[in-house]
Structure 1
Amino acid sequence: MVLLTGCSSTSSAGAAPSQPSSAPSQPSAAPSIPATWAAPLDASAAAQQAGLPMLGQEMLAVHYHAHLDVTVDGQHITVPAQIGIDNIRQAISPLHTHDTTGIVHIESAENVPFTLGQFFTEWGQPLTSHQVGPTTISNGEVLRVYSNGTLITSDPAALKLQAHQEIAVWVGPSSATPTVPSTYQFPAGL
């Protein structure tokens, strides 16, 4: 039997997930995720497409967490639970989510660089200068990606994930300067 319980510090079933220090409190009910932003039905195939292995258990030799906020045209997009977790095959990817807090778990047997692009591919969502998820960036709009409040000017998909990193992916008018979080208050033990 494979154990896919996640970090001991993450929220358990029925408990409200921790909130970012810069965000207002959310209702305790799971947020509604539009079908176009939902986790893929076949987590193993999505992980394979991202170049990630599926493992029989979480590997904790390398263990850290990053946080992801996505805002498209003023709408906060909820990062779904269970990205990278295949309950049918009882397998888990080194990059995964347990809940809808936006916390990305990086749990691997090897210290290899994992990227934001791999996570988006595993989520089943494109991340390019022309498209984020199901949203095509139109004339007058722009994609901006921030790491710990600093604008990333290189390929956003190549951004390497780091411990306690706050990543903000924002799509909106090219004339706008978004206000994005530079930190995230991770639960104790993460």
Structure 2
Amino acid sequence: MAVRNRPLTGKASRDGRKVIAQAQSSRRSGWLWLAAGVVVAAPIVAIVVISIVKSPATRAPETESASLQKPPATVAVGADTMPPWPAPADAKAAVAAAGLPMLGSEGAVEHIHAHLDVLLDGKPVPVPRDVGIDTDTRRGTISPLHTHDETGVIHVESPVKRQFSLGEFFSEWQVSLSADNIGALRAGGGKLVRVVVNGTPQTGNPAAITLGPHDEVAVVYGTPQPGETLPSKYDFGEGE
């Protein structure tokens, strides 16, 4: 004979309702803990994302580009010493003095070459290699304005399109330059500081001169001589 289910009464009914209420409470607690976990996790995720976005590695290109948006420097800061002038031991500090950044690699947006001759009483003063280059292999950073060798070829390899000045290069070289001096070489007693670009004499502030593709820049100190010949052209290598 089939047994019919009968409704619970008395204590059994109360116990049943208690069990059901506890189960419902447990489910509500579970949902509350889940919601709380989501609320707590959300700011943590946001912090992680912000940290990644603002990490030095991701900020570097933006910072480098931003620091190159300003106009080229029109002063050359450096030592007032006699030549020869070696490349600075602290390239990073010298590049910072020029107002330029150190890059993780050479830029490719602006890529030109110019050539610099420095003459003292008609004799060449060496333009050193590694101006604007940190030769420490652990860092391996480089300015967008630099030299690779002692030929006097100045490389402009920038991540943004921008002009670079003679003053910025001399600041990286840590040699002061003005209309009256090159380092400790000062105008006076018949001796002059002159700058000639592509054979054309320049006037005014030499540090403000900007470098153009295949420019030949001659910075000359001494007494002008009758019939003297100053550099007006440089034979750049293939690909320069």
| TM superposition score category, shorter chain reference | 0.7 to 0.9
Distance 1:106 1:59 in 2: 8
Counterpart of 2:91 (choices 39, 43, 52) is 43
Greater strand share, 1 or 2?
1
Per the TM alignment, residue 94 of structure 1 is displaced from its structure 2 partner at its CA by 0.6
Match of 1:83 in 2: 131
Distance 1:86 1:118 in 2: 17
Instruction: Answer whether contact 1:36 1:134 (CA < 8 A) is retained.
Output: no
Distance 2:130 2:213 in 1: 20
Unaligned ranges ≥5, structure 2: 1-81
Greater shift in the superposed pair: 136-145 or 57-66: 136-145
- Partner amino acid for 1:42? D
Distance 1:38 1:146 in 2: 23
Greater shift in the superposed pair: 128-137 or 65-74: 128-137
Instruction: Spell out the pairing of 1:48-63 with structure 2 (5 A cutoff).
Output: 48-63=96-111
- Partner amino acid for 1:101? T
Greater helix share, 1 or 2?
2
Are 1:131 and 2:181 matched, yes or no?
A: yes
Instruction: Spell out the pairing of 1:1-190 with structure 2 (5 A cutoff).
Output: 36-88=84-136, 89-174=139-224, 178-190=228-240
Distance 1:35 1:153 in 2: 23
Distance 2:91 2:101 in 1: 11
Q: 1:101-133 CA distances to partner (integer Å, 9 max, x unpaired)?
A: 000000001111110011011001011122102
User: Percent of aligned positions with the same letter in both sequences?
Assistant: 47
SS at match of 2:177: coil
Bigger Rg over Cα: 2
TM-score (norm 2): 0.62
State the superposition RMSD in angstroms. Answer: 1.6
Q: 1:123-169 CA distances to partner (integer Å, 9 max, x unpaired)?
A: 01011122102322332111110110000112110000000000011
- Partner amino acid for 2:89? L
- Structure possessing the higher relative contact order (Cα contacts under 8 Å, 6 or more residues apart): 1
Per the TM alignment, residue 35 of structure 1 is displaced from its structure 2 partner at its CA by 6.8
Q: Once superposed, which parts of structure 1, at least 4 consecutive aligned residues long, lie more than 4 Å away?
A: 174-177
Instruction: Answer whether contact 2:178 2:207 (CA < 8 A) is retained.
Output: yes
Distance 1:128 1:181 in 2: 20
Q: 1:66-114 CA distances to partner (integer Å, 9 max, x unpaired)?
A: 0000001222101000000002231100100000000000000111111
